[in-house]
Amino acid sequence: MSTAFENRQVVVGDVRSPVLVGGPRDASPTEAVVFVHGNPGGGADWLSLMAPVSEFARVIAPDMPGFARAEKRADQDYTVAGYAHHLNGVITAFGLERVHLVAHDFGGPWALTWAADHPEQVASITLVNTGVLLDYRWHRLARVWRLPLVGELFQRGAAPGMVRSLLQHDNPGLDRRWVAKLAAHLRPWGTKRAVLRLYRSTSVSSMPPLAAALRRHDFPCLVVWGTADVYLPTEQADRQREPFPSAQIHKIPGAGHWVWLEEPDRVAHHVLPHLRSQVGATRLHSPEPCKESQ
């Protein structure tokens, strides 16, 4: 049986990061499924998926710097490399030697940058509407955030009601309670500042080298993608075969960017068997050839 979830505090450098932790009492202390949220988000957003995974594996979900309950100071590093460094600090703090990454949105680049630098610790990868974004064109909100002054004006004028309306418009399948929660994630000025710095410091030109670095290892990889995502087009799901040649790809028709919140059972149907097959397993050979299903 799994233990109840608990909140712990991890400090990486001098940045405090709350971490949600759960799993069976007899789980290996050196192996865990690590859930990495994106923008906007927080570790607790994964709870509906973490709960069933916690029945057979240790689970860890940090609030990443600038988001949710993590510190949001102006002097923090909000680059992809900075987030990968912070993730490494969390993984090190828990003494993990085998890591199963589950990532969404910008959590994908953060987690995959860490994976490329620490391949010996990577046991498996699950990508939920994220990945190595090849030949990607920024979505309309990202283009605004990347503009100096314009981005600041937009963030300062982004009243809660306007943010909720934007999220609901872009994600009509999301329950209104989740729309409100995601909008609340974006309310603090520290988070708005982190978003501006993250998007401005990230270049799509960094993606091909990342894909090449990951491809050498062909990690066991599952891709789950909601096809109605207005931020990351579905073609990016198929592009994940480039960094992960043996990837299994499952598309959820009509679901949006936060697919596991819209379709929890359908996402769990793919994710749980994948993780069950990988947790505790010894990787002796490459996974089976890539598959695709809907």
What tens digit of pLDDT does each residue of 185-240 get? 999 999 999 999 999 999 999 999 999 999 999 999 999 999 999 999 999 999 99
Nearest to 82, CA basis, from 117, 54, 56 = 117
Would 148 be classed as within a structural domain? no
Q: Tell me the H-state helices in 76-188.
A: 80-93, 107-117, 140-145, 150-157, 160-170, 176-185
| Contact (Cβ atoms closer than 8 angstroms) between residue 237 and residue 249 | yes
Would 167 be classed as within a structural domain? no
Angstrom distances, CA of residue 35 to CA of 38, 49, 102: 10, 10, 5
- Rounded CA separation 79/206 (Å): 12
Least confident of 86-100, 255-269, 276-290: 276-290
Would 197 be classed as within a structural domain? no
Average pLDDT over residues 256-268: 98
Would 25 be classed as within a structural domain? yes
Would 289 be classed as within a structural domain? yes
DSSP 157: H
Would 184 be classed as within a structural domain? no
* Number of separate domains in the chain: 1
- Rounded CA separation 217/266 (Å): 28
Would 117 be classed as within a structural domain? yes
- Rounded CA separation 27/106 (Å): 29
Nearest to 242, CA basis, from 270, 258, 223 = 223
- Rounded CA separation 231/175 (Å): 18
Only one residue has tokens 């890539």, namely: 290
Angstrom distances, CA of residue 208 to CA of 120, 128, 133, 135, 289: 21, 20, 8, 9, 22
Count, residues in the chain:
294
Instruction: Provide the residue range defining the domain that includes 46.
Output: 2-136+204-293
- Rounded CA separation 123/282 (Å): 9
Residue-wise pLDDT tens digits, 113-123: 999 999 999 99
Q: What CA dihedral angle connects 198, 118, 17 and 101, to 10 degrees?
A: 90
pLDDT bin (cut points 50, 70, 90) of residue 171 is very high
Tokens of 17: 């990061």
pLDDT beyond 60 at 24: yes
According to DSSP, the residues that pair with 18 across neighbouring strands are: 9
Residue-wise pLDDT tens digits, 130-158: 999 999 999 999 999 999 999 999 999 99
pLDDT beyond 80 at 292: no
pLDDT bin (cut points 50, 70, 90) of residue 282 is low
Q: Model's pTM, two decimal places?
A: 0.94
Average pLDDT over residues 51-57: 97
Would 242 be classed as within a structural domain? yes
pLDDT bin (cut points 50, 70, 90) of residue 284 is very low
Which CATH number characterizes residue 86's domain?
A: 3.40.50.1820
